[in-house]
Structure 1
Amino acid sequence: MKKRKIGNLTVSEIGMGCMGFSHGYGKVPETSYSIAAIRAAHDYGCTFFDTAETYGREQFYRGHNEEIVGRAVEGFRKDIVLATKLHISTEEYDPEGDIYNVLLRHLTASMRRLRTDYVDLYYLHRFNEAIPIEKIAESMGRLIREGKIRGWGLSQVDVSILSKAHEITPVTAVQNLYSMVERDCEKEIFPYCIEHHIGVVPFSPLASGLLSGKVTAETKFGTDDVRKFVPQLSKENLEGNRPIVELLEEFAKVKKATPAQISLAWMLYKYPNVVPIPGSKNKERILENLKASEVTLTKTEFARLEEALGTMEIHGHRGINESQQHSFSSHWMKK
């Protein structure tokens, strides 16, 4: 796979989100299958794997996903970029204390589960409004200087938060929601990140399956499935967003690709600093998404896509301004 730079890190131009092996998309596969799927992604050429300490709820435990990823990548750990995230509760924060010790405690536990002595990219999962982002940035800088992490990032932030953090300790990557139907990042995040050499790592780049064309109004979501909360996937919004799916299907037919691959190829063409991390618990789907790197849009094809998308109304919107106190993910974070 072709490579891209996010901050000071070099990664495959498409990464892999590993959350689905632990929760969020219904029944999870057997651990052996999950490990094999991660290794298959690496065999294909993926060198960028994303997890978090909070991935592992319902029938599993906090840290479950990190343990799976750690087991899967142990044999080629030095050849990849490993990203994980921490969630700091308000109860852990002492305004008179050193927040560094809190970060270090979380990081040490994550490294143990990941079977590594360093983390390449350490994100603050959602910023906590009770904790000054500047203090987090200072502590991340110390972790970098100590060699415990190589870079750090933020998730679901706008430029006002990003710039405050970046001025203290340069940010490596921003992991925000971005896709054809969630384009808030285009207003300020991408321009700021390109100017300051920060990577943008879109999660849910396929809009939780909407842009694959495989989620329909008849799709049923189980108890442990975040998709039932995704705005674009309500029955009425699925119908409203159908023209976008049809547009992708049209291009996919011409390019001998899938709608999902066209969607990923579109953002890869559009921004040099974007590295999407589509997530799936299905090995075949994971490899299909990675193979979007083999789909090359021409200048004319990209322009046609952009023009058509510009005429289409988007139904359902989540946005990127999320904190721990005001987050789409708070339902899962609190468990």
Structure 2
Amino acid sequence: KAIEYPGVASVQIIYNIFRQRPSGLFFREAKAKNVGVIVRVPLASGLLTGKMTKDTAFAADDHRAFNRNGEEFDKGETFAGVPFDVALEAVEEIRRLVPENITMAQFALRWILMEDAVGVVIPGAKNAAQAAANAAASDVAPLSPEVIGELRNIYEQRIAPRVHHLW
């Protein structure tokens, strides 16, 4: 909706392997209107780092503990709106696609950077090492069409039925 207004220069939007809907109409329209796309929540609240398990605990003041179903604000802000257990299963499927020489976070960020409508990605980082590793994602080789296809299949089978229609 924002890109329909005159003078909009850029839009921040959630886009990640678990939130693929923007790659349809929105990215096409943003490009046509010369609106920059800034991707936020690219790692789905940390899920796409591959570091979480069913036993991962979050601090009481962490939105991943208190907003999983939209209790405080839009549930799509937490884990891209995907139920935690479903997302963990999808992460395990994704893990087998990640080359050994990169992290899952770099893999997920590189997937986003392959979308030519995206100008900037703003992942979070807890320390300088994570920030440097995230930045290195731009140096990762492009993902093959086969890998992109497998990621799309994982999304369509496991994730899309739960969230695609919402955002």
Is the pair's TM-score, using the shorter chain for normalization, greater than 0.5?
yes
What's the CA shift for 1:173? 1.1
| Residue matched to 1:47 | none
Q: Are 2:28 and 1:191 aligned? A: yes
Count of aligned positions: 150
1:178: how far off? Answer: 0.4
8 A contact 1:251–1:259 mirrored in 2: yes
- 1:257 aligns with 102
2:95 to 224, 235, 246: 246
* Partner SS state of residue 59, structure 2: coil
For structure 1, the 5+ residue unaligned runs are 1-159, 322-335
Whether 1:294 aligns to 2:139 is yes
**Structure 2 equivalent of residue 128 of structure 1:** none
Look up the match of 1:317.
Answer: 163
Q: How far is 1:319 from its partner?
A: 7.4
Give distance in 1, aligned partners of 2:31 and 2:23.
11
Which among 50, 54, 75 is matched to residue 217 of structure 1? 54
Spell out structure 1 runs of 4+ moving beyond 4 A. 318-321
Letter in 2 for 1:207: A
Inter-CA distance 198–207: structure 2 relative to 1 (3 Å threshold): same
Shift of 1:240: 3.2
1:143-195 per-residue CA deviation (whole Å, 9 max, x = no partner) reads xxxxxxxxxxxxxxxxx3421x2x3xx21111011001101211221001111
**Cα separation, 2, equivalents of 1:176 and 1:319:** 16
Is residue 269 of structure 1 aligned with residue 111 of structure 2? no
Larger Rg: 1
Query: What's the secondary structure of 1:287's corresponding residue?
Result: helix
TM-score normalised over the length of structure 1: 0.41
Q: Would you say the 8 A contact 1:232–1:241 is kept in 2?
A: no
Give the direction of change, closer, same or farther, for the CA distance of 1:187–1:171 in structure 2 (3 Å limit): same
CA 1:195–1:206: 2 relative to 1, 3 Å: same
Identity across matched positions, percent: 26
Deviates more, 1:268-277 or 1:198-207: 268-277
Per-residue deviation, 1:209: 1.2
Give the TM-score normalised by structure 2: 0.78
| 1:176–1:201 contact (8 Å) kept in structure 2 | yes
SS of alignment partner, residue 11 of structure 2? strand
* Mapped contact 2:52–2:88 kept (Cα < 8 A): no
Q: Within 2, Cα distance between the matches of 1:233 and 1:224?
A: 19
Amino acid at match of 1:219: T
1:302 partner amino acid: S
Q: Which has the higher contact order (CA 8 A, sep 6+)?
A: 2
CA RMSD in angstroms comes to 2.2
